[in-house]
Amino acid sequence: MRTIVLVAVTFCMTAVSFGQGSQKAKALLDDVYNKVKGYDNIFVDFQYSLNNKEANVNTETRGDVTLKGDKYLFNYLGAQQLYDGKMVYNIVPENEEVIIDTPSNEENTITPSKMLTFYKEGHTYSWDVLQTVQGRKIQFVKLVPIDTNTEIKSILLGIDAETKHIYKLIETGKNGTVTTITVNSFKTDQPLSKTLFTFNEGKYKEQGYYIIKN
């Protein structure tokens, strides 16, 4: 009888602890979301790495993105992706081409405009480890997709406890691929050109680019 009571007490304590951890995690993510939404624009310079030991894949590069509302300018691997609020423009200097397409409507697709807010829906949350990185307290929150058909196993979000800015994202796929994005620089409310998110088709035609419209 005493064993049954101890098991029951332990179970209840674990359930309460998990519930509190989940609530703390959600509250912290809400703080991050509200902070991000308060900025007129955001510039993020980041380091990107992809690792899969079984496939012997290990790549590392950097990129940056400027965000204003849903609009963005994304620089990555020598190419640019621009979203003006209506269409997506993939500008590839190496191929001298611009591919114009409609934005993806897939729920599981994390676009640059969603990269700081994607966690708001479709996940369960739990409190994870606290790390000190160069004197900064980084609190990790674990996200697990509710959709069991997704290729993502889990996501760890490292959040600066003082600024409430995202510092690191570690995504683990069901195939063993680990994708890590580390923020090198996070700037807000920068002076932006009025034409930053405007695509100038004539400019690229003059430079001899192929314009491909899907």
Residue 107: count other Cβ atoms within 10 Å of its Cβ: 10
Write the single-letter amino acid at 104.
Answer: S
Mean pLDDT along residues 101-126: 71
For residue 12, pLDDT over 60 is answered with no
Strand order in the sheet with 71-76: 123-133, 136-145, 152-160, 166-173, 178-188, 42-52, 57-68, 71-76, 79-83, 88-92, 97-101, 210-213
Q: What is the tens place of the pLDDT at every residue in 84-98?
A: 999 999 999 999 999
Q: What is the tens place of the pLDDT at every residue in 162-197?
A: 999 999 999 999 999 999 999 999 999 999 999 999
Instruction: Give the pair of three-digit tokens for residue 134.
Output: 């160069």
Please answer whether residues 174 and 151 qualify as being in contact, where contact means their C-beta atoms are separated by less than 8 angstroms.
Answer: yes
Pairing outcome for strands 136-145 and 123-133? antiparallel
Percentage of residues of the chain with pLDDT beyond 70 = 85
d(CA 52, CA 57): 5
d(CA 88, CA 73): 10
Instruction: Give the pair of three-digit tokens for residue 186.
Output: 């996070």
